[in-house]
Amino acid sequence: MEKIVIFGKGGIGKSTVAANLSAVYALEGRKVIHVGCDPKHDSTVSLVDGDMIETFMEKHSRVFGIRDRQNLGAKDLLVRGRLGIDCIEAGGPEPGVGCAGRGISMMLEAFADLDILKAGSYDIGVFDVLGDVVCGGFAAPLRKGFAEKIVIVISEELMALYAANNIAKSVRTYASNGVYLAGLVANLKDGKSDRKKLEKYAKIIGTRILEYVPRDPAVREAEFARDRTVVERAPKCAFAKSIRSLAAKILTVKKEKCPIPKPMNDKQFYGGW
């Protein structure tokens, strides 16, 4: 099974990229599980029919209180989405209350207890994980042996690269768990921006840009329609083409070709490069 983890700064396009990747893999006939690890719990919206799914945290407070945890099966936690994709969202506490990272940790503990990834005989797991991994909760997929192939979504903006740098630090920290950085996805805000700067950044931290994803109005249209992913709605658009290309490239990346990343320290990062 390929465990692909999409990391990146909030709002950078993780869920958009992750959900469309899951759809591409499923359309190719693969058995996919899609795991949203963000309190925003919107990663699976385009993969299921109808409303947003009940999150793990919502189920946890509703179901786990009245039933023996031992009796819970994967079926109780997963929602079968379109294209046969099994979906789950960690969810999180009410804003301002509690710790969102804890929800992710608890969900992954349930994954381990129920052996969900093995039981489902999945070909691919796509994990969509918030943040720049300053909070250890968001690094739970790296710590607990769920993550393998890490893909970081960036843009041409400096703060997106700062977040990527932090994520690369946590990949380095957990490299002994088998975690490796497969590469970066440049989800461009401006098609005319300087790609050389991004190539340089990738080189400095010891990785590569896997794909340049263009801004595409088809993404916004799909987001408003909320019925399907972009690759299903508009398979010929530039965004869909880039996601299919990315999906293929992610699968061909070999761990041996991915050295432990060399993130910059803050002084280097802000020192100009």
Of positions 5, 7, 13, 89, contacts ligand ADP by CB under 6 A: 13
CA separation for the pair 171, 5 (Å, rounded): 11
Query: Could you say whether residue 215 binds ligand ADP (CB under 6 A)?
Result: yes
Is 182 or 219 the residue whose CB approaches ligand ADP more closely? 219
Minimum CB distance to Mg ion, residue 42 (Å):
6
Query: Phi then psi for 98, rounded to 5 degrees?
Result: 75, -165
**89 interface partner picked from Mg ion, ligand ADP, none, CB below 5 to 8 A per type:** none
Burial (0-12, 13-18, 19+ Cβ within 10 Å), 166 = buried
Of positions 11, 73, 93, 98, contacts ligand ADP by CB under 6 A: 11
> Is 257 marked active-site?
no
Query: Could you say whether residue 22 binds Mg ion (CB under 5 A)?
Result: no
CA separation for the pair 120, 152 (Å, rounded): 26
> Is 40 marked active-site?
yes
Q: Compose the 227-246 pattern: x for residues touching ligand ADP by CB under 6 A, - for all others.
A: ------------x-------
Minimum CB distance to Mg ion, residue 10 (Å):
7
> Is 132 marked active-site?
yes
Which of 3, 40, 59, 169 is an active site residue?
40
CA separation for the pair 234, 154 (Å, rounded): 23
Is 152 or 258 the residue whose CB approaches ligand ADP more closely? 152
Give the 3-state secondary structure of 114-177.
HCHHHHCCCCEEEEEECECCCCHHHHHHHHCCCCCEEEEEECCCHHHHHHHHHHHHHHHHCHHH
Distances (CA, A) of 38 to 11, 114, 121: 11, 21, 24
CB 15 within 8 A of CB 43: yes
Q: Compose the 177-206 pattern: x for residues touching ligand ADP by CB under 6 A, - for all others.
A: ----------x-------------------
> Is 113 marked active-site?
no
Q: Which stretch binds ligand ADP (CB under 6 A): 69-77, 144-152, 164-172, 218-226?
A: 218-226
CB 110 within 8 A of CB 116: yes
CA separation for the pair 130, 12 (Å, rounded): 10
* Residue ranges in contact with Mg ion by CB under 5 A: 14-15, 38
* Residue ranges in contact with ligand ADP by CB under 6 A: 8, 10-16, 187, 213, 215-216, 219-220, 223, 239
